[in-house]
Structure 1
């Protein structure tokens, strides 16, 4: 199991700092109770809408935010873009149901590190928080494909052309790495597939993020999907 303890001052470790954002106080209460049973994650704040989420993120410096999508005033999509667009931004996991998949895609393109269904088993919610806090994504290629296939998008042709134009700036090796990221492969798996060291793969991924002006692996995967390279 992934540990949720993160490096702290003086070389020690500290629990993952979690911010809960949902307009339903009962949902927030349930999540707080869930986290209360874990010694490596702590709730540092709550917010009832997107505007409060932006303020709370600045006040509490969370590592991860569990973000609802449908909320009054400012929704989770806008809040995610605002939060993730700032330096040293916390990771965001959006909470959703499958009847709003198009919103999930928009949130992922806005920088969210993954998504959870609201009926996700408690153990998986905690593990997803730990995974995202470590810098990895919570999305599998199957989940990404299910979302994309589920949404009938008339703008898909334009997105494909734009995605391919952006990817044209990559070298051949960088394109190979991007495609494998799109398949949900880990750095170690990519290294094995391409016959290179893990540090080299990490370097390629970092250059991909810089060249493509993206901030996480999920966005690389979505871009590759948009370009229909999988």
Structure 2
């Protein structure tokens, strides 16, 4: 089994030890490097072959956002996930907009942290559950896409041969609405909306609602 090579970066040694222990216990993961500030993490990448960087968002010298910026400037950059004890919607949005693959919390159950890393390695975008709808809504209004939301959805709908009802659900999903809100707007049952969302994720080859929104807004569908 191919193992994901991980760099763990956090200015708290206890957090580094705890995360390293957790990840090393996963059969498909191995921690190959650790760092205690952002600059040290960046230096490690020059000497160690890494598939994924799991970094605290608040670190000295280079914080998580600055570290991500430096990593993205590299050829063939590793997957980047930020992890934090205190969630900040602003920093979460920044990480996702910049091209990070995730924003998760240290307080999430260990199995969810492991699952998040696996999903990111499979091309997914992962975010702490409570922040997902907020980020989707903000992405719809602050995304760097050059045209309107409707134009992005229309193009996606044409490429993916979506039905009219699927397109309607998709545009409301991209505006950050939840299933019940979409159902109320479109006069559908919530179960029907769930079926549409599941089918949309399947059509776009994504693993989460947020990844679907990011894919459509940035026109990154497969």
TM-score (norm 2): 0.67
Q: Does 2:66 match 1:78?
A: yes
Residue-pair matches, total: 187
Structure 2 residues not aligned, in runs of 5+: 161-166, 179-193
SS in 2 for 1:59: coil
Which deviates further from its counterpart, 19-28 or 92-101?
Answer: 92-101
Alignment counterpart, residue 147 of structure 2, candidates 165, 168, 179 = 165
Q: Does 2:63 match 1:91?
A: no
1:99-127 CA distance string (max 9 Å, x none): 52211111111211011111111111111
Distance 1:98 1:225 in 2: 27
Distance 1:225 1:141 in 2: 20
Q: Tell me the residue number matched to 1:123.
A: 111
What's the CA shift for 1:66? 0.8
Q: Tell me the residue number matched to 1:68.
A: 56
Distance 1:171 1:39 in 2: 39
Distance 2:70 2:28 in 1: 27
What's the CA shift for 1:45? 0.3
Retained in 2: the 8 A contact 1:18–1:65? Answer: yes
Relative to structure 1, the CA distance from residue 187 to residue 53 in structure 2 (aligned partners, 3 Å threshold; closer, same or farther) is farther
Structure 1 residues not aligned, in runs of 5+: 1-12, 193-197, 206-216
Q: Tell me the residue number matched to 1:213.
A: none
Retained in 1: the 8 A contact 2:8–2:54? Answer: yes
SS in 1 for 2:133: helix
Distance 2:130 2:146 in 1: 22
Q: Tell me the residue number matched to 1:190.
A: 200
TM-score (norm 1): 0.65
What's the CA shift for 1:128? 1.1
Q: Does 2:8 match 1:20?
A: yes
Distance 2:26 2:149 in 1: 42
